[in-house]
Structure 1
Amino acid sequence: MTAKLFQPKYIAHCLTLVFSAYHAAAFSQASSEAEIEVIEVTSSKRVKNMQKVPVAIQALSSQTLAEQNLSNLDSLNLYLPNVNIASRGPGQADIFMRGMAIQPIAVMLSGAQGTMPNVAVYLDEQPVTAPGRNIDVYTHDLERVEVLAGPQGTLFGASSQAGTIRYITNKPTRGTFEASTSLGFANTKHGETSHSAQGMLNLPITDDLSLRLSAYTVLQGGYIDNRFGEFTLDPTINPNSIVNIEGASYQMADNLSLVEDDFNQNRYQGFRLSGQYWIDDDWQLLLQHNAQQIEADGVFDMDPEVGDLAVSRFFPDTLEDEFKQSALTLSGRIQQLEVLYSGSVLKREVNQQIDYTGYNNTGAYIAYYTCTYTNPNYIANYNIPASLITEQRECKDPTKGFVGQQSHDKTTHELRFVYDAHRFVDSVFGIYLDDFLLETQDDYVYLAAPELGFAPNAPISTANNINPNTRAPGVTFFNDVTRSEKQQAVFAELSFHLTEQLSATFGARKYKIETGISGSSNFADGIFQGSVNTDRGRDYDVSGGHSDKPWIQKDTIYKFNLSYNWQLDKLIYATYSEGFRPGGFNRGGGIESNNPEFPTVSTTYNTDDVKNYELGFKSTWLDNRLRFNANAYHIEWQNMQVSRFDPQNVSILTFIENAADAEINGLEADAVWQVTPDWRLFSAFSYIKSELTQLKAEAIELVSVGSALPLTPKFQGNLRSQYSWQLGEYWLDWHFAWVYSASSWSSIVAEQREKQDSYQIMNTSINLDLNNWQLQIYLDNLADERAKLFINDQDDIKRVTVNRPRTLGIKLKYRY
């Protein structure tokens, strides 16, 4: 563990927090009778009291989710100070934890070239992680959300490199009829109204069989305006476009037909049906089916040059994101051995359109796709119509757009065993199989191309394509790419109870991953190819060092943990753990760079490796009225996977490079304090110091050694207060929450790096419990803070993702 974590000022801050809480709680001990609830988690692959598990865990219960209006990934992030997200809207987020962050690849390229995330997302027993498009589960009828910080690779596998987020759904309850329904309405300042309807039914069919059904439909009103704008090619912005020829004319595009206030509304709709059969006293069978659809219009980031909460978009922005998951879980006991089998199938379909007009500002061949030519010899040389040759160059409609379709098919199987009947040793061990197929079709539409004689673009005839058909007129470039990933793993953790207080745990996971890529990237043919399709592009079975054989990656990662209970309710632990995520293929790898001074990008990029050293402390005090947990960690991150698009120097295709090493030192803590029987305080914070320690990039120009990693504030924290009044037989609760984040940087790439300012957000609500009825009135973003959550130039124009403006809402719930 690095000495930096133990500088006196940091120790003093921690001790101040601990002892001030202790003395304040002691003062109120005589009047406090209520206790903090016990939270059970399954982070160790078995059900345990969270305070007994020597792992850094935050758990948001179903009650917390409801009281704080935490409905999706963006809102969950507010109360998880060691978690950061780079989001461009529903279903378009990358998740980072403990400062292990890299600016994400453009969402339109996430399928063809995006790296696998370094934070795994689980829906019950199945990982649903995906590059650039983590499934955004709506939180209706969840039991809890578990956040496991630090590498969890031995038990949770690939991508659990920086941590794991687990959505745990409510399961059918045996022998009990339950039902509820709720309605909600909200109004957003500067925006539209929102409304929701949700319901749940738990129905016992027999003494041994119960069904549970939950459903929801939620419309979230927009708050970003698409304002009128005009766009022309500008040689002063993009001199590499080669259109700055004297006398050239430039056609202007406008977005009049797309102008709309509050155009970024979105809708979540879904249901969950599950059935549980209690076979006997030892065995249970659970069947589940989850389905969710997100429909969104517009964008969720603003353009500061256009105005507050405003953009000017020239091509429709739409999203349809649907997933269906079916799962079977059989659990039971064979004498002293607990057994669990889980099999899940996930199918996901994403259709999206994105305005791509900003590419005119950065593309190296804009004139080729947008402007006429003046050389009359081209008529004879290339057999083209005379109308394509003009006296002066005429640049046509610059509007450009992206039309993408992506599908995910994922099948997982896990068989695991738990043995904890022995006095001196217990264990969890098992096998895991994962088959993931990602198919992406990414069409880039240039409205000027048909007028300039570009041939209809067909996929390379010899490639293994998803769609063999010629694309629509105007599609001048497209990816037709299939990525596959097959995993096989065996894992085990053994815990030895050396004394009644001291335990040592050894964990390991041996894995084999087969990664494949097939398909093609295709360039349209214009006048220099005689306006005839010539199969220009990349065939990923043969070009640039690619082949039709999978790339095999295999290794073993380890974990060691030592824990000591110096009292029944106080635990100290030390952990060494390793994490990994798979490497992958570069579409443009193996091809010489456009600029000979830049090296050739490699065909593959490797896994990046993580070593984590951690000291942790878990405790409850004063008869379970004060809970305080904290941990300090040192992370060594090697061969970081960094993406870059550099058409001038390297390739027209975005690529990935193992570009740098970094170190991260951090301190995080959370506390719950039952001040009086009626007043409870919650707090959590994280302090992170990250820095690049070595640059390995050959084709990417990064910031200097010593620079902080992106999207990682040095300090984040929150404080929540809950006060309850009894009004006869009813209860009234008042909640107040304050969230603070220090400033951060947007990127690790030098020319894209911008400072993201600090911010603070306040939320408040009043909840009235009238036995079967519940009424909630809430006010989110009390001060109407405009928090800069993610600055990006993924659309080649600076965008800033901000939080939702001040929102006043009401919810009414009835429980049967």
Structure 2
Amino acid sequence: MLIHPPSSRFQFKAPCLRLAVAIACGGMHLLAGAQSSAPSSAAPPIEPASAPKTIESVSVTAQRRREPAREVPLTADVLKGEDMERGGYQSLSDLAALLPGMNHNQSGGGTGGSQITMRGISTGSQVGATVGMYVDDVPFGSSSAYAGGGSSSLDLGLFDLASVESLRGPQGTLYGAGAMGGLIKYVAVEPDPSYFSAQATAETSSTKGGKSGHVLRGMLNVPLSEGVAALRATLYQRSESGFVRDVNHGGRLVDGSKTDGARVALLLTPSKDVTLRLTALSQKQRRDGASTEDVDIATGRPVDGALTKRLLLSEPSEVRNDLVSAALKVDLKWATLDSITGWQRTSSLGRVDSSALYSPLLAPTGIVNAAYGMDYTFNNRKVTQEVRLTSPRSRQFEWLAGMFYTNESGSKTQNLRPFNAFQQPESPVLADARFPSTFRETAIFGTGTYYLTPEADITLGVRRSRNSQHLDQRFSGIFAPAPQPASQSSEGVTTWLLTGRWRPAERQAVYVRAASGYRPGGPLPLVINPLDGTALNNSSFKSDSLWSYEVGWKGDIVPGRLTTEVALYQIDWKDMQVFTSSAGFSGIGNAGRARSRGIEWTVRAAPTDSLRLATALSAIDAKLVDDSRDLGGKAGERLPNTARLSLALQADYDFRLGGNPAYLGATLRYTGDRWNSFKEAPGIPAYRMPAYTAIDLRGGVQIGKANIGLFVRNLTNRRGQTAADTTLSTAGGPARVNLIAPRTIGLQFSMDFS
């Protein structure tokens, strides 16, 4: 958004009020940050090469009960924890790269500030999350547009996880608000009361153009009472040197990062019918700056050379995530009772060098400084409670019923101030905006599955949700507007699910699925006319919603050797939440409609006991249906940050080396071209990110209880562009383009102490 400065300080009030409202609603897109591509910790123990390696049947909890993935009537990807560690994958960006059709766009100035989208459900600069994030059964992240909900996808360290489940398409009935494009669930390894185990892991790596990095991890599983109680703890640290250099400051690296995390879980099983799991996790991510390169928006070439940018101010950021949860499971015989309680705290803070935007904007008014920085914070505290009853397995009728409650207290602050040539803040503060907010939601939900025959069934599900929100406004600084009143909103939303499933043969299923999802609406910062006291803008924006229609087939072609899944879908999206303007003031509003059609196809094969192959393909045609002035898009124009075609190929071979089990593996990832925004997006010029292909290699050997691994990421050193922020380009500045890491080579070592 460009603000045209008037000729006097008094006249600055109205534009600065627009600026403050834009800040509250997220209308000022800050920048696109780093996308990590470094490999992870050492591989788990390697199985003997002589063991049969047929395709393993995996289970998911997509429908809130554990069942084989091939039985679930939707696209459900399961990445096992041991496979991710063996493959050297450790971050959210790695997950997105492995799952075609998923896009990871890091924003907000650093690690942890990110957007995940699936199946093309994106408008570029997101008002709120369209993919739900869960840790076990606890929803993580803000549901509100005012506490970083649009850029707070949980980037949890992929250490000591049983699996990561990815569910495609809307999951609004069972998982609630925000899961309209899909859902990602981190599933931790549970404590085991039957045996003692421990593992220590160390890794060192080097990135072309950067310096060395490392990973350190320790895991301990301790039975407290055999068969009754156990404790499991994981501690980890990941450090990366970065690979982007600042031309203005001697070519120093400015995108290094460090992540520290810990997870502790206590499992109690006082009887065969009662289980209680208590979990606490904490993770802190710090980054010197974003892994972005200054690029000429017209030519797509680096302004000052590859892997460089110019900064007048450093751009540090920090993200902290804490979660405490209690999961109680009781077998009542006639049903299973689950009670899941969660408390979480999320904080994100950082600085963006906004000099390229504000220097030319303010200079004509006589305000001249060496640099301008935007300091920002997002904070959210959230309490959730879910209780549900699940019927026993049956081939006649199965049901599930539950209640959900969440209470969130969030805040968003942004502080615009001048800095001197020594990067020290100067007075006075130009604008300081603070927006405390609350979000409360209650919901009831249920599903019922009726078996028409042993081979065919139908499922109907419904969820009724109601939320209430409150937003306050506090301004200070020389451009601060007059005090404005608080605003509030409330709404009720119903989501639906209908599936039909038919099993024509053993280990095969055909399904059809219709499902809906939504994002909550919310209040808007009120702007009052000082002359007559009337509101100059809308007091709230509506929820947006979509319907997805999907048909798919899953099954074995050659049992245990060749299996495939294919799904065709169409998603109709209406009342899209977008950044907009009303009566000259920026805010959030609702646009028209969009449509996404696509195909997802996965093939897995084990042609021999030692060789495993897998391929996954996603083709997406996501377009606007209606013209949108607020988005700057025309009907038929592609939705941003979505590749028409993406593909992943993987091969793993197990063998023996000197009598010891060993492995070799390779992964090829292709991502098609994307646009960062619409062609006439206000304040965000369109930039095309070209297609790219990356190749990863891995290998390892197990010697006794020690595992040694070697990896190469981005073997051919491709310059893959993953996201682009063109906000500064409105004032003639470069595009800030996020890149995958250059070629990275590393060595892993782990030791088991079981």
| TM-score when normalising by structure 1 | 0.80
Partner residue, 2:677: 747
Choose from 506, 510, 533 the match for 2:464: 510
Task: In structure 1, give the amino acid aligned to 2:717.
Answer: D
Choose from 108, 125, 129 the match for 1:104: 125
- Cα contact 2:419–2:426 (8 A) shared by 1: no
Partner residue, 2:660: 730
Partner residue, 2:511: 573
Larger radius of gyration: 1
Task: In structure 2, give the amino acid aligned to 1:331.
Answer: K
Alignment of 1:274 onto 2:265: yes
Partner residue, 1:379: none
Which deviations, in whole Å up to 9, do the C-alpha atoms of 1:90-141 show, x marking residues without a partner?
A: 1111111001112126xxxxxxxxx221111111111113331222111111
Choose from 355, 358, 373 the match for 2:356: 358
Partners of 1:172 and 1:519 lie apart in 2 by 46
Mind listing any 5+ residue stretches in structure 1 that lack a counterpart? 1-30, 106-114, 229-257, 372-394, 450-470, 526-534, 542-546, 593-598
3-state DSSP of counterpart to 1:327 = strand
3-state DSSP of counterpart to 1:51 = helix
Partners of 2:523 and 2:363 lie apart in 1 by 27
Partner residue, 1:650: 584
Residue 636 of structure 1: how far off its partner (Å) = 0.4
Alignment of 1:790 onto 2:723: yes
Partner residue, 1:218: 238
Residue 420 of structure 1: how far off its partner (Å) = 2.7
- Cα contact 1:520–1:540 (8 A) shared by 2: no
Partner residue, 2:45: none
Which deviations, in whole Å up to 9, do the C-alpha atoms of 1:650-692 show, x marking residues without a partner?
A: 34xx422212311111000112100111111011010001111
Relative distance call for 1:473 and 1:361 in structure 2 (3 A) is closer
Partners of 1:84 and 1:589 lie apart in 2 by 36
Partner residue, 1:756: 689
Partners of 2:728 and 2:407 lie apart in 1 by 32
Residue 540 of structure 1: how far off its partner (Å) = 4.1
- Cα contact 1:227–1:312 (8 A) shared by 2: yes
Partner residue, 1:172: 191
Which deviations, in whole Å up to 9, do the C-alpha atoms of 1:238-263 show, x marking residues without a partner?
A: xxxxxxxxxxxxxxxxxxxx544222
Q: Runs in 1 of length 4+ with deviation above 4 angstroms?
A: 588-592
Which deviations, in whole Å up to 9, do the C-alpha atoms of 1:613-668 show, x marking residues without a partner?
A: 0001111232221121110001101111122589xx934xx422212311111000
Partners of 2:694 and 2:392 lie apart in 1 by 45
Greater shift, 348-357 or 262-271, is seen at 348-357
Question: Superposition pairs for residues 487-502 of structure 1, below 5 Å?
Answer: 487-502=441-456
Question: Superposition pairs for residues 242-261 of structure 1, below 5 Å?
Answer: 258-261=249-252
Partners of 2:598 and 2:478 lie apart in 1 by 50
Task: In structure 1, give the amino acid aligned to 2:94.
Answer: S
- Cα contact 1:86–1:104 (8 A) shared by 2: no
Alignment of 1:367 onto 2:364: yes
Alignment of 1:638 onto 2:574: yes
Relative distance call for 1:509 and 1:754 in structure 2 (3 A) is same
3-state DSSP of counterpart to 1:66 = helix
Residue 711 of structure 1: how far off its partner (Å) = 0.7
Residue 517 of structure 1: how far off its partner (Å) = 0.6
Task: In structure 2, give the amino acid aligned to 1:121.
Answer: M
Partner residue, 1:608: 544
Relative distance call for 1:689 and 1:421 in structure 2 (3 A) is closer
- Cα contact 1:692–1:705 (8 A) shared by 2: yes
Partner residue, 2:214: 195
Partners of 1:179 and 1:756 lie apart in 2 by 44
Partners of 2:359 and 2:707 lie apart in 1 by 53
Partners of 1:436 and 1:800 lie apart in 2 by 34
Partners of 1:35 and 1:701 lie apart in 2 by 49
CA RMSD of aligned residues (A): 2.2
Alignment of 1:623 onto 2:559: yes
Partner residue, 2:290: 299
Residue 601 of structure 1: how far off its partner (Å) = 5.0
Question: Superposition pairs for residues 88-103 of structure 1, below 5 Å?
Answer: 88=107, 89-103=110-124
Residue 76 of structure 1: how far off its partner (Å) = 1.3
Greater shift, 418-427 or 272-281, is seen at 418-427
Residue 264 of structure 1: how far off its partner (Å) = 0.8
Residue 568 of structure 1: how far off its partner (Å) = 1.4
Residue 322 of structure 1: how far off its partner (Å) = 1.2
Question: Superposition pairs for residues 527-566 of structure 1, below 5 Å?
Answer: 536-541=481-486, 547=487, 550-566=488-504
Relative distance call for 1:149 and 1:367 in structure 2 (3 A) is same
Partners of 2:517 and 2:250 lie apart in 1 by 47
| TM-score when normalising by structure 2 | 0.86
Q: Relative contact order: is structure 1 or structure 2 higher (C-alpha 8 Å, sep ≥ 6)?
A: 2
Question: Superposition pairs for residues 301-316 of structure 1, below 5 Å?
Answer: 301-304=292-295, 305-316=303-314
Relative distance call for 1:307 and 1:645 in structure 2 (3 A) is farther
Task: In structure 2, give the amino acid aligned to 1:269.
Answer: D
Partner residue, 1:519: 473
Relative distance call for 1:601 and 1:672 in structure 2 (3 A) is farther
Greater shift, 425-434 or 68-77, is seen at 68-77
Residue 434 of structure 1: how far off its partner (Å) = 0.7
Residue 218 of structure 1: how far off its partner (Å) = 0.9
Residue 753 of structure 1: how far off its partner (Å) = 1.7
Choose from 594, 601, 605 the match for 1:669: 601
3-state DSSP of counterpart to 2:93 = helix
Partners of 2:392 and 2:269 lie apart in 1 by 23
Residue 588 of structure 1: how far off its partner (Å) = 6.4
Residue 693 of structure 1: how far off its partner (Å) = 0.9
Partners of 2:208 and 2:485 lie apart in 1 by 49
Partner residue, 1:119: 131
Relative distance call for 1:729 and 1:428 in structure 2 (3 A) is farther
- Cα contact 2:676–2:689 (8 A) shared by 1: yes
3-state DSSP of counterpart to 1:358 = helix
Greater shift, 567-576 or 743-752, is seen at 743-752
Relative distance call for 1:282 and 1:695 in structure 2 (3 A) is same
Greater shift, 616-625 or 429-438, is seen at 616-625
Partners of 2:539 and 2:518 lie apart in 1 by 20
Alignment of 1:414 onto 2:420: no
Choose from 215, 219, 224 the match for 1:205: 224
Question: Superposition pairs for residues 125-140 of structure 1, below 5 Å?
Answer: 125-129=137-141, 130-140=149-159
Relative distance call for 1:121 and 1:739 in structure 2 (3 A) is same
3-state DSSP of counterpart to 1:539 = coil
Task: In structure 1, give the amino acid aligned to 2:324.
Answer: S
Task: In structure 1, give the amino acid aligned to 2:570.
Answer: H
Mind listing any 5+ residue stretches in structure 2 that lack a counterpart? 1-49, 142-148, 296-302
Partners of 1:696 and 1:711 lie apart in 2 by 17
